[in-house]
């Protein structure tokens, strides 16, 4: 029975460990906790049955010693927990630092010169409020934040004034301005504080009319999420039909071109050419299998974008597609746009065309920033984009690293043009924008293009935001969870062998 008890304790430990590591109570955690508790119950019942058979005085010292050991262990555990709570010492061993304040929220807090008031409106017995208050207290340690709390029923005038619709709502005020957050998470608080700053980051020209991404589209394929995120970061967006474009307005800080599906007019491409020649900034998100005319302009700046499809078998099959079409990228160059991204902070690109860099002038500075695994290859067979399962055969194509995203700096006649190009555009759509670190890579690319490097950061996740489901995240959670299964089984086997040897 001791072996069963040890196995139950190990299962419970791994079940809780999986939950805290992934911030998700999945099947692995549930099964481990259920089996662990069942094993402890069976072991306890068996032990109780044996205790009833013990009746002699000689057994009492043994029982008393066991009880004292249990009491001492519980007392020691309680003392350690209290000491840890009072010490304020924190450890966060999760790969994504899930229990630490993100770099983004710390940096935005340093921008406030006067304190911000955070008022937490709650019902008296709302269990969600404790977590929100702890988060506010943690943020207040690094931010000039004055935290207060009010019972919602006692503040009817505030409900109307701030548009409070539910308990566990936080209202941030700075002077006469306020932002209301109804689902307080670190991510939503970060965006609220950013909006409260009311900082102007620049003016972006969003081209439309040739099948480009729709900033007003709220469905899965639209880009309303990206437009809202850019607005939160302080950018003013102007929509312009590319066919009607005669000149780039002087106040434009950068041009945003997202997945043109049709051939652009030569006059439009020429306008962009003149704009870049004068030190303009361009962020282009392209798709495999399309020709829009912007490819020739990018090639003149050393950024070649073949219409081929990049296949990376290291990513496996995601979302009912053939293996390797949807790429989970984890290789990054040292560059401001990828600051903070690494093998634990990945980006997701569903359907990619490769990017090839080729320096045109000696003073140009081209750099591939995100690239595939070394086992990737390129195919000209565009029909693979419609494959829903299976493997894509490599027909003799060389396997090597390929760029998914690249940047270029071009000093010309006292000015410097900057270009960012992605071999995919879907990663910034509503469906995938908040998957992994896609939001960070696109926003940081815009900041870099317009020379706002000080605003580059990693933003906290908005886990409770209603999003289109992404099986990729569930797959990764399952991988992290089941990845604990092997060491768990080894520990259980080792404990059972050790107990048997001691008993023998």
Class of domain 202-457: alpha beta
The values of phi and psi at residue 170, to 5°, are -115, 135
**Sequence-separated (6 or more) residues with CB below 8 Å from residue 63:** 51, 54
Taking Cα atoms as reference points, which of 19, 61, 3, 144 lies closest to residue 480?
A: 19
List beta partners, residue 205: 238, 255
Given the structure tokens 């293009």, which residue do they identify? 449
Residues of the chain with CATH 3.40.50.880: 202-457
Reported as type and span, the H/E element at residue 368 is: strand 365-371
Which tokens belong to 455? 């605003």
List beta partners, residue 370: 332, 405
Write down the pTM of the prediction.
0.74
Class of domain 103-197: alpha beta
Which tokens belong to 324? 């390797």
Q: What is the pLDDT along the chain (504 residues), one digit of tens a residue?
A: 566 666 777 778 777 776 655 555 667 777 877 887 887 777 777 766 665 555 556 666 766 776 787 788 778 878 876 776 666 666 666 555 666 888 888 888 888 889 999 999 999 888 888 889 989 998 998 889 999 999 988 888 998 899 998 999 999 999 989 999 998 989 899 999 988 887 788 999 999 988 788 899 999 999 999 999 999 999 999 999 998 899 999 999 999 999 998 899 999 999 999 999 999 999 999 999 999 999 999 999 999 999 999 999 988 777 678 899 999 999 999 999 999 999 889 999 999 999 999 999 999 999 999 999 999 999 999 999 988 888 899 988 999 999 999 999 999 888 999 999 999 999 999 999 998 999 999 999 999 999 999 899 998 876 543 333 344 444 555 555 555 666 767 776 776 676 666 665
Residues of the chain with CATH 3.40.30.10: 103-197
Largest CA distance in the chain: 102
Cα separation of 272 and 437, whole Å?
29
Which tokens belong to 321? 């597609």
């Amino acid at each position: 029975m001791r072996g069963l008890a040890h196995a139950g304790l190990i299962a419970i430990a791994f079940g809780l460990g999986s939950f805290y590591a992934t911030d998700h109570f999945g099947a692995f955690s549930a099964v481990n906790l259920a089996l662990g508790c069942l094993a402890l119950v069976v072991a306890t019942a068996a032990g109780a049955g044996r205790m009833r058979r013990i009746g002699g005085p000689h057994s009492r010292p043994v029982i008393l010693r066991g009880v004292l050991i249990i009491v001492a262990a519980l007392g020691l555990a309680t003392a350690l927990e209290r000491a840890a709570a009072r010490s304020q010492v924190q450890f966060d061993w999760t790969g994504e630092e899930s229990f630490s304040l993100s770099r983004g929220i710390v940096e935005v807090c340093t921008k406030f010169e006067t304190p911000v008031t955070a008022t937490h409106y709650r019902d008296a017995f709302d269990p969600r409020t404790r977590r929100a208050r702890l988060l506010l207290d943690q943020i207040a340690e690094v931010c000039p934040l004055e935290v207060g709390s009010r019972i919602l029923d006692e503040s009817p005038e505030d409900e109307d004034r701030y548009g409070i619709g539910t308990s566990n709502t936080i209202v941030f005020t700075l002077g006469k301005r306020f932002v209301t957050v109804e689902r307080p998470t670190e991510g939503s608080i970060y965006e609220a504080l950013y909006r409260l700053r009311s900082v102007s980051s620049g003016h972006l020209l969003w081209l439309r009319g040739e099948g480009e991404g729709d900033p007003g589209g709220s469905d899965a394929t639209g880009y309303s999420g990206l437009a809202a995120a850019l607005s939160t970061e302080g950018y003013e967006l102007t929509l312009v039909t590319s066919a009607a474009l005669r000149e780039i307005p002087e106040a434009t800080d950068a041009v945003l071109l997202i997945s043109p599906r049709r051939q652009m007019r030569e006059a439009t491409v020429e306008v962009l050419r003149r704009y870049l020649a004068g030190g303009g900034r361009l962020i282009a998100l392209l798709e495999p299998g399309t020709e829009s005319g912007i490819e020739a302009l990018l090639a003149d700046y050393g950024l070649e974008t073949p219409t081929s499809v990049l296949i990376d078998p290291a990513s496996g099959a995601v979302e009912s597609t053939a293996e390797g079409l949807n790429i989970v990228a984890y290789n990054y160059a040292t560059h401001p746009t990828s600051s903070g991204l690494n093998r634990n902070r990945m980006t997701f690109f569903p359907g990619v065309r490769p990017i090839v860099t080729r320096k045109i002038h000696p003073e140009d500075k081209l750099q591939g920033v995100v690239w595939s695994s070394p086992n990737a290859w390129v195919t000209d067979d565009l029909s693979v984009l419609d494959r829903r399962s299976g493997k894509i055969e490599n027909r003799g194509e060389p396997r090597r690293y390929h760029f998914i995203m690249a940047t270029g700096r071009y000093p010309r006649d006292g000015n410097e043009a900057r270009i960012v190009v992605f071999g995919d555009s879907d990663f910034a759509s509503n469906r995938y924008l908040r998957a992994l670190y896609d939001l960070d890579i696109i926003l940081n690319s815009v900041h870099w293009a317009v020379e706002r490097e000080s605003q580059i950061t990693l933003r906290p996740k908005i886990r409770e935001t209603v999003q289109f489901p992404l099986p990729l995240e569930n797959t990764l959670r399952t991988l992290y969870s089941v990845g604990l299964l092997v060491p768990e089984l080894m520990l259980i086997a080792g404990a059972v062998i050790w107990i048997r040897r001691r008993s023998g």
